Chain A
Amino acid sequence: MAQHSSKGARFQAVTANRLSDGEVVYLSPDNQWAETFAAADIADGPEAGDALMARALPADFELHVLEPYLFEVLQDGTQYKPASVREIIRAAGPTVRLDLGKQADAKRES
């Protein structure tokens, strides 16, 4: 697995793909796998990152998701956003099909 956080990363979140359908999910503050990045728990600092990652790996995590990992998040005013293009695309959907993925769900809901 490639490195998804840079060395000096301050904020991080945990993501994975849901087992049943591959949907991108994020670990939330109440230890659920949520479908939106907005619902992701954000860890501040490397130790908090490790603790967050540990919470993603209870004994039965594989019943729900595959390949959970930490990735870097940037603070953007009061909001957070994923640091890499890859994670921005995972959080939204294909940039060439705005009618598909989470970006489309968000549009339908609003």
Chain B
Amino acid sequence: MYRYDEFDHQLVGERVKQFRGQVERRVSGELTEDAFKPLRLMNGVYLQLHAYMLRVAIPYGTLSSKQMRMQAHIARKYDRGYGHFTTRQNIQFNWPALDKIPDLLEELATVEMHAIQTSGNCIRNVTSDQYAAAIDGEIEDPRIISEIIRQWSTFHPEFTYLPRKFKIAVTGHDNDRAAIKLHDIGIVIKQNELGDVGYEIHVGGGQGRTPFIAKKMADFVPKAQLLAYLEAVMRVYNMLGRRDNSYKARIKIMVHETGEVEMRRLIEAEFAKIDASQMLAVPQAEIDRISAYFASPEFENLPATSATLDAAQAQDADFARWVRANVVAHKQHGYGIVNISLKPIGGVPGDATDVQMEAVADLAERYSFDEIRVTHEQNLVLPHIRLDDLKTVYDALNAHELATANLGLISDTIACPGLDYCNLANARSIPLAQEISERFADLDQQYDIGELKIKISGCINACGHHHVGHIGILGVDKKGTEFYQISLGGSADENASIGTITGRAFTEETIVDAIETVVTTYTDMRQTDERFIDTYRRVGLDPFKERLYAE
């Protein structure tokens, strides 16, 4: 895991001190809210409906147990005993007092974490694959290049005042779990015929008001040239991105308006200008230093199967179901990747209490080489668990209500905070997620329905990724009352697509019935082994529309 060097420590320490001064000046009246607001946002402090909210960055979604324990500590000491894991692999605290936030940040810095660049028009926290370094078929651990990008982009003078915020995601695997085509820049690590490692670059994806799937701008950027290429993209954007209208300022709009071909030409022209001699090549020593932090854990040589596991599964049907739903094959024989669902039936998607966070930290420390991952689907992962230990880990998770066996199923919903917390919301998201999971609480029914991703946003900002839900739900406001629009056919994986709106919005009372109608339309029409998204792609929107709006 990456450790701060002296420079990082100093930087973060100074930033906390600076923010403490800014808070003091705001409280004393020296700073107006207009002057202070951008400063607090740069430090991850938002104002929500009931209180301030602090967003803490979890670089590429990787946490050590010590860092997770600190989140628990913060939840207990500065908040109301819980935190919310977000679709950007970060964690948000919903109730910190402004005057205590500098103390909070100081404590956070002791575990090498901060809230910088979680807001504002800068390059945001780089996100990545939660199965990094654990999944078979990965070309390279995506966190190495994520960390290099993080260092390059942090406080980069050219990129602190971008036209708009900028999000980068990296995957080292062909199965995209990082939604890279929905980011301003998405990077896929590739290997060419010669065996060299390089990068496929996608530019201009995004959600929000105007969703776009990113366009592929380069098939293979050689390893040494990645930062130069990214710099070229950023320069083109910085020069031509629209600053006149914040709705049009994202690079996705620029790619769309400029056109894919012209955009590629502009980037390549800029790339050619960057002198090869000062190519921003990261020195090999630095790459080695960073790579060393992500060295593979010392796995034991184990057989591919575990008699202990087989016996436990035979004895405990619930455990067997959980293994089937939530444990993914590991690249190393004798290990498994454990997904911890933060979507208990009727619960708040992504929320975890201080006690739960500590339980996960303990398990990571004892059984998973001290590593925890946060997924963009708002779950947690213990990446390296011995098959022999699965039952022990399951029992411990189960004791903390962390063993719901619903990964990728209809109740594994993404939901933004919505109108229960968010200042920008039109409608609530969380209660819908809760009602849907209760409606489909029966796990056997969920397994029968199969993979189905419901994603809910409380407004068009799309924090809940509704555009790319197999079923997307968007909250809209009509004269102070909540309504919900359904879209179908979105997807955030390597076959990314934007969903299509079905039609007229539903009320709070009718939306869950409508979701059930969509699901039964699918189960009635599906062919053998067809997932929801496959059926939708085969039959299209019309059959769903007919059933939804039949009088």
Contacts and interface: CB of A to CB of B under 8 A. Distances in A.
Interface string B48-74: 111110000000000000000000000
A11 to B, nearest CB: 14
Interface string A57-70: 00010110011000
A96 B420 contact: yes
Interface in B17-31: 26-27, 29
B47 to A, nearest CB: 6
Contacts of B431: 95-96
Interface in A65-90: 66-67, 72, 83-86, 89-90
Contacts of A100: 50, 80, 95
A110 interface: no
Given A22-B97, A63-B29, A95 B52 contact: no
Given A20-B98, A67-B47, A101-B50, A84 B480 contact: yes
Report which residue of B33, B480, B482 has the largest number of chain A beta carbons within 10 angstroms of its beta carbon: B480
B420 A94 contact: yes
Interface in A16-50: 17, 19-24
Contacts of B49: 24, 86, 89-90
Contact of A19 (B26, B80, B348, B430): B26
B479 interface: yes
B401 interface: no
Contact of B480 (A17, A24, A86): A86
Given A22-B48, A96-B431, A101-B50, A89 B419 contact: yes
A20 B52 CA distance: 9
Given A63-B29, A66-B33, A90 B50 contact: yes
B376 interface: no
A80 to B, nearest CB: 15
B51 A22 contact: yes
Contacts of A20: 27, 97-99
Given A21-B52, A95-B420, A85 B482 contact: yes
Interface residues of A, number: 27
Interface in B252-277: none
B434 interface: yes
Nearest to B426: A86
A18 B468 CA distance: 37
A89 to B, nearest CB: 6
B343 to A, nearest CB: 14
Contacts of B51: 17, 21-23
Given A60-B29, A66-B47, A94-B420, A21 B480 contact: no
A38 B323 CA distance: 52
A96 B26 contact: no
A24 B434 CA distance: 26
A6 B419 contact: no
A95 B95 CA distance: 15
A57 to B, nearest CB: 12
Contacts of A66: 33, 47
Given A19-B98, A95-B428, A24 B29 contact: no
A85 B420 contact: no
Contacts of A89: 49, 419-420, 428
Contacts of A93: 50
Nearest to B508: A85
Given A20-B98, A21-B97, A90-B49, A62 B33 contact: yes
A106 to B, nearest CB: 14
A95 B427 CA distance: 12
Nearest to B421: A94
Given A19-B26, A96-B434, A85 B419 contact: yes
A35 to B, nearest CB: 11
Nearest to A102: B50
A89 B99 CA distance: 25
Most buried by B among A24, A66, A93: A66
Contacts of A86: 49, 419, 425, 480
Contacts of B527: none
A96 B481 CA distance: 17
Nearest to B428: A95
Contacts of B308: none
A12 B481 CA distance: 18
Contacts of B27: 19-20, 63
B32 interface: yes
A6 B478 CA distance: 11
Nearest to A64: B29
Interface in B427-471: 427-428, 430-431, 434
Given A19-B26, A20-B27, A20-B98, A67 B50 contact: no
A44 to B, nearest CB: 19
A96 B348 contact: yes
A85 B481 contact: yes
A75 to B, nearest CB: 16
Nearest to B424: A2
Interface string B128-154: 000000000000000000000000000
A87 B26 CA distance: 27
Given A85-B481, A86-B480, A17 B47 contact: yes
Contact of A67 (B26, B33, B98, B481): B33
A6 B477 CA distance: 13
A76 to B, nearest CB: 15
Contacts of A63: 27, 29
Given A22-B97, A84-B480, 5 more contacts: A19-B98, A22-B48, A22-B52, A24-B50, A67-B33
28 contacts: A17-B51, A19-B26, A20-B27, A20-B99, A21-B51, A22-B48, A23-B50, A62-B29, A62-B32, A62-B33, A67-B47, A83-B480, A84-B480, A84-B481, A85-B419, A85-B427, A85-B428, A85-B480, A89-B49, A89-B420, A89-B428, A90-B50, A93-B50, A95-B420, A96-B420, A96-B434, A97-B348, A101-B50
User: Closest 3 CB pairs between A and B?
Assistant: A84-B480, A22-B51, A21-B97
